[in-house]
Amino acid sequence: MEFGFSEEQAELAATVRGLLAKRADSRAVRAAVTSPTGYDVGLWQTLVEQIGATALAVPEEYDGAGFSLFESLVVLEEVGRSLAPSPLLSSLVVAEVLLACADEDAKRRLLPRLAAGEVAAFVDGAGAPVLDAIDATVLLAVRGDDLVEVDPATCTRRAVESMDQTLRLAEVDLADAAMTVIGSAATARERADLVGAVAVTALQAGLAARAVDMTVSYSKDRVQFGRQIGSFQALKHRMADLLVLLEMSRSASWAASYAVSTGADNAAELAHIAKSYGSDALDHIAGETIQLHGGIAITWEHDAHLVFKRAHALGQLYGQAHEHRALIEL
């Protein structure tokens, strides 16, 4: 199968990349993670209002842009490349859950709010930390056999520390929460797991590209023994291996993203392959990024540690590599 972006998709990726290059550099990312919200609200509003990032996969009848999930994942890959903290992943999962199984009333009430940029979160399992739940204004949860809409004002939420400071996690106590049944739990969980896994592969592909780019760039600048270290044959081989891992994981992510977006019969299988391969590939790329940067990579001031933390955090989100491999039918 030959696959590549359409002209519109390539332009979308380039536009988002250009915006994030200006608004989400190292200093901006560090400032965002220490802000009260944990992300740059101004940048989020720009992504919502000028790019339409939260509206891309929402049908026009619900005030969305009427594109597909794939376009949303194109944006998410660029977000992964930038390291910018963003609630896009969790909001995208909630939108897809609503589209998959919510009743019509819930769709008409909630999807326009998501398209307009309200932060959403999906609670699946008691006690488990929930991504972006701390200040979500749209909150869905699985309760028994039902998918329910939770009134955020009636539940208790407590922030939980994450190894990756660019991801915001919270514990959600629904014991006294007001809830409304809007759909089936089984369908909701299945869609959330599938979309969540393939969305994480997009973040992983973007982060892998950033790691390889910064490592190659450093090897051209760092001089040792009177030569750029990138001229040493052994290091050339290691960076070539990183490029192979990057291209393979990106190809797997694109294939899975397209399959999930179009409802292909092998969508789940491709998602498992992409998440398992992408997680292992990114772990290796992140480790080599640290090694090939040398001592500077373990300093707080350098971004290599942010790449390393994000890589391992993404490996845990929506299933670890070994768990996805176990689900692949051989």
Q: Region 161-185: what's the mean pLDDT?
A: 94
Q: What is the residue-averaged pLDDT of the chain?
A: 94
Beta-strand pair 130-131/169-173? antiparallel
**Segment 95-144, tens digit of pLDDT:** 999 999 999 999 999 999 999 999 999 999 767 899 999 999 999 999 99
Band (pLDDT 50/70/90 cuts) for residue 330 is low
The C-alpha atoms of residue 7 and residue 13 are separated, in whole angstroms, by: 10
What's the pLDDT at 128? 83
Domain 187-326: which CATH class? Answer: mainly alpha
pLDDT at site 295 = 85
Amino acid at position 209, single letter: A
31 pLDDT above the threshold of 60:
yes
CA distances (Å), 62 to each of 106, 117, 183, in order? 11, 13, 18
How confident is residue 174, by pLDDT bands cut at 50, 70 and 90? Answer: very high
Q: How far apart are alpha carbons 211 and 247 in whole angstroms?
A: 13
Confidence of residue 222 (pLDDT cuts 50, 70, 90): confident
Percent of the chain predicted with pLDDT > 70: 98
Distance CA 326, CA 316 (A): 15
pLDDT above 70: residue 75: yes
Terminal CA-to-CA distance of the chain, rounded, Å?
21
Predicted local confidence at residue 95, as pLDDT? 98
Position 163 confidence tier, pLDDT thresholds 50, 70, 90: confident
